[in-house]
Amino acid sequence: MTEISVPDLSLIVLVGASGSGKSTFAATHFGAFETVSSDFCRGLVSNDENSQEATADAFDLLAYIVGKRLDAGLLTVVDATNVQPHARKSLAELARAHDVLPVAVVLDVGEDVCLTRNAARADRSLPAHVVRRQREQLRRSLRGLGREGFRDVHVLHSAEEVEATTIVRHPLRSDRRTELGPFDVIGDVHGCRSELESLLVTLGYTLVHDDAGRPVDAVPPEGRRAVFLGDLVDRGPDSPGVLRLVMGIVAAGHALAVPGNHENKLVRALDGRKVQVSHGLAETLAQLAEEPEEFRRDVRAFCDGLVAHLVLDEGRLVVAHAGLKEAYHGRASGRVRSFALYGETTGETDEFGLPVRYPWAEDYRGRATVLYGHTPTPVAHWVNNTMCLDTGVVFGGHLSALRYPEREVVQVPAERVWYEPVKPFPVAGSEAGVAVAESGGNRTPDLLDVTDVLGKRVVETRTHGRVGIAAENAAGALEVMSRFALDPRWLLYLPPTMSPCATSSRDGLLEHPAEAFAQLRADGVDQAVCEEKHMGSRAVVLVCRDQETASSRFSIPEGMTGVVHTRTGRSFLDDARTEELLRWLRSAADAAGTWKTAGVDGGESGWLLFDCELMPWSLKAEPLLREQYASVGAAARSALPAAVRTLETAERAGLPVGDLLARTRSRATNAEGFADAYRRYAWAVDGLDGVRLAPFQLLAAEGSTFHDRDHLWHLGVVDELVAADTSGLLQATRRLVVDLDDEGSVAAGTAWWEELTGAGGEGMVVKPVANLVRGRRGLVQPGIKVRGREYLRIIYGPDYTEPEHLARLRERGLGRKRSLALREYALGIEALERFRDDEPLWRVHEAVFAVLALESEPVDPRL
């Protein structure tokens, strides 16, 4: 019995004459969709599985299908005769183009078998000479198959052997997904054995020495393993010592390792091949020359046996010496190995003659964390979920490790400069290093790409599943975001829209608290908090404790310590007023001690993000107030009294205009009510004089989000700020807790709303006290607004209370609005959590941008 082992991601090319049993073989060993047959493709493009004229089109199609499957990482089998070298060559190239290993399986069965089977087929009769020719071509090809680029060639010599063959699949050598860690991932060592020992000890490893006192193993803390990112050797003082230690750790199963370009070159040098002895290789070879031959052999075997990249922790972590772009993760080809060892260069050299590296990490959008070394950098930092851990120990920098999944960097400093770099290396902590660190190291400002936001998208949220964004909504949001919004680095959150309560059927009312209470109760909420609805604009305020935090955490420029922005990400105030507002808020937070407790586990945070209302509404909306609301009031004030007078004259003249007159008088009253309503939203401000800020929720602080803290906690934090505020800027939010199972409590809630709105208030927002709540049908609405009767005149028009209008206005659908409110709510939380988790900017921006995109969905703006 023959067993063929194939990589579980490979392109398997069957080779055999017509009638050799390829289709049966494929059907026996592979899944229904895994095999792509040339005959089937002929059929698709010509309606005839045997059409020879369709050959070219059929193979175009076959290549397309195979390409799509390989892109998706699916093992694929090509069922075609493939007896001609050029046919096989193009398939091997196709496999390489998708960084997948090509495997040939040859079905070399006897001519008689082929002819018999062909003759037995009802659908096709191939002349014997064709089958014979195919067999000849096959035989001629056999020897050269390996040279055609196939990684493995399996030849089955008879129909019996074909029959008896089994296929097993093995993972690629890079596939170590079952290794779950936790890991300590160690950057370029470059022969700095002493620093490596220190680092391992710092990481909690126990060194094991041989009889000669040389370290040969390190026992990790319980459950952990080390991962070496390559470039163990060259330049430094003791490459053999490092090798001895690392080989020992790996052999003991205490570590994994990937090779660096220096190991690669060392292997070739040890093989006696001609290599350029530079970049410290000479030192290594000299040091190794003093070691026994056996050690050199072990070194060669160790280095040669390393796999260029490893995929770990169920695909969540990828390690490679020079990093690896997402398309290459878990793939195998020459270029994948080359990328992993050397990275991509642009083909240019810089002023020091060093190759210019392609900044793949800036473009990286993968979900897996990628850890790598290769390019010495003074400070290890995250770029799009990737981190370079080569901190130039051999140049006098540091030797660094990252604790995974903790994402904590652990470093030891170099004991000295072991090797003078070609171009000056700015060591972290030195004067040059400080300058580099302040400018963000060699980090480029986080770059966002249009493909991060444009087109039809799906955003995964942890609270509400997948949220789809239509391409046209993204297009609209791109314009708003680009033209008006603040720098995405300062835009952590956009607030969600909020649904009103179900429509009330009470006389003269469109909205009433009873519906809000009933809705929450139906969702299983037993306690609600009613919060007064401020008569302002939604504002998000990011305030930093000091300039240093603002610039280091958010790259906010000198002179700014935060932002105050609208629902669409636009700055609310000019820079001077923004800073003044932030100054007052900061003083309040200083006095209240908010910074000291808002961070992780009640620790410190250098910044706070608040959801607020900013008043008066006219601050943002004065043009709208004047041009829309006041204008309508002016027109009504001019037209209606004149109409009433004219009708009164007519009535005195005995004309039957009574109804019309009554209606017109009522409308005149409505218009006055309307004017009263909008006037409450406008008052004059001078600088910040007259401006009020009412924070009602603390959205986030360093390392924390707070959507799971109950609203009374949030209001408590704000109350302390308000109490500590000496400027008069901050305003508390009145609230009333309602026990939804208690009729008296519910009645009190209703009475409170009546009191608020009776005094001209906008209304209230009813929220589950517990904040984020999941009900039987998923997320519960985080807030339901119940707006006052008079306020709604500026939404539905002065005359909306007239019975004939109200009857029609009650026919309003809330389904879309509610669904939108939940989706936006989930996206807002998602953005905050991504930021909290230090995810790359594009991931945070994706969720923030999606809120804006959803806002362009066509939903009745009056809801």
According to CB under 8 A, which residues from 580 to 639 bind other proteins? 626, 628-639
- In angstroms, what is the minimal distance from the CB of 672 to other proteins? 11
Q: Which is nearer to other proteins, 273 or 652 (CB)?
A: 652
With CB under 8 A as the contact rule, the residue among 123, 348, 558, 601 that binds other proteins is: 348
Q: Which stretch binds other proteins (CB under 8 A): 212-220, 601-609, 697-705, 799-807?
A: 799-807
- In angstroms, what is the minimal distance from the CB of 396 to other proteins? 19
- In angstroms, what is the minimal distance from the CB of 642 to other proteins? 4
Site for other proteins contains 198 (CB under 8 A): no
- In angstroms, what is the minimal distance from the CB of 846 to other proteins? 12
- In angstroms, what is the minimal distance from the CB of 680 to other proteins? 11
- In angstroms, what is the minimal distance from the CB of 383 to other proteins? 12
Strand ranges in 321-366 using DSSP code E only, listed in sequence order:
345-349, 355-357
Q: Which stretch binds other proteins (CB under 8 A): 112-120, 279-287, 449-457, 605-613?
A: 449-457
- In angstroms, what is the minimal distance from the CB of 568 to other proteins? 14
Q: Which is nearer to other proteins, 316 or 862 (CB)?
A: 862
Give CA–CA dist 537/694, Å, rounded: 10
Question: How many chain residues bind other proteins (CB under 8 A)?
Answer: 78
Residues 6+ apart with CB under 8 A from 479: none
Q: Give the pair of three-digit tokens for residue 349.
A: 């050299």
Site for other proteins contains 358 (CB under 8 A): yes
Site for other proteins contains 669 (CB under 8 A): no
**φ and ψ of 631, to 5 deg:** -60, -45
Site for other proteins contains 642 (CB under 8 A): yes
Site for other proteins contains 655 (CB under 8 A): yes
Site for other proteins contains 646 (CB under 8 A): yes
Q: What is the dihedral sign for C-alpha 18, 24, 25, 26?
A: positive
With CB under 8 A as the contact rule, the residue among 615, 794, 853, 859 that binds other proteins is: 794
Which residue's entry shows tokens 């230690």?
245
Residues 508-547, one symbol each (x = binds other proteins by CB under 8 A, - = not), give ----------------------------------------
Which residue's entry shows tokens 């493009």?
45
Contact 190, 393 (CB under 8 A): yes
Site for other proteins contains 796 (CB under 8 A): yes
**Strands lying side by side in the sheet with 255-257:** 255-257, 225-228, 183-186, 398-404, 408-413
With CB under 8 A as the contact rule, the residue among 296, 577, 663, 680 that binds other proteins is: 663
- In angstroms, what is the minimal distance from the CB of 234 to other proteins? 18
Q: Which is nearer to other proteins, 90 or 646 (CB)?
A: 646
Give CA–CA dist 810/819, Å, rounded: 19
Identify the three-state secondary structure at position 274. Answer: coil
Residues 6+ apart with CB under 8 A from 717: 594, 598, 698
- Interface positions, 460-489, toward other proteins (CB under 8 A): 472, 475-476, 478-479, 481-483, 486-487
Would you mind telling me the total number of residues written for the chain in this entry?
863
Task: Tell me which amino acid residue 319 is.
Answer: V
Contact 671, 665 (CB under 8 A): no
CA distance to 124, 135, 153, 164, 834, per residue, from 108 (Å): 21, 8, 12, 14, 57
Identify the three-state secondary structure at position 710. Answer: coil
**φ and ψ of 412, to 5 deg:** -125, 145
Residues 286-325, one symbol each (x = binds other proteins by CB under 8 A, - = not), give ----------------------------------------
With CB under 8 A as the contact rule, the residue among 197, 313, 799, 833 that binds other proteins is: 799
Site for other proteins contains 444 (CB under 8 A): yes
- In angstroms, what is the minimal distance from the CB of 546 to other proteins? 20
With CB under 8 A as the contact rule, the residue among 445, 468, 559, 758 that binds other proteins is: 445
- In angstroms, what is the minimal distance from the CB of 633 to other proteins? 6
With CB under 8 A as the contact rule, the residue among 56, 72, 120, 684 that binds other proteins is: 684
- Interface positions, 367-386, toward other proteins (CB under 8 A): 375
Site for other proteins contains 26 (CB under 8 A): no
Q: Which is nearer to other proteins, 636 or 820 (CB)?
A: 636
Q: Which stretch binds other proteins (CB under 8 A): 78-86, 189-197, 650-658, 701-709?
A: 650-658
Dihedral in degrees, nearest 10, Cα atoms 387, 389, 391, 392: -130
Contact 3, 94 (CB under 8 A): no
Contact 224, 180 (CB under 8 A): no
Give CA–CA dist 589/720, Å, rounded: 8
For 606-642, b where at least 16 C-beta lie within 10 A, e where not — what string?
bbbbbbbbbbbbbbbbbeebeeebbebbeebeeebee
Site for other proteins contains 129 (CB under 8 A): no
Q: Give the pair of three-digit tokens for residue 28.
A: 């026996």
Q: Give the pair of three-digit tokens for residue 7.
A: 């990589």
- In angstroms, what is the minimal distance from the CB of 643 to other proteins? 5
For residue 786, what is the enclosing H or E element?
A: strand 784-787
- Interface positions, 236-295, toward other proteins (CB under 8 A): none
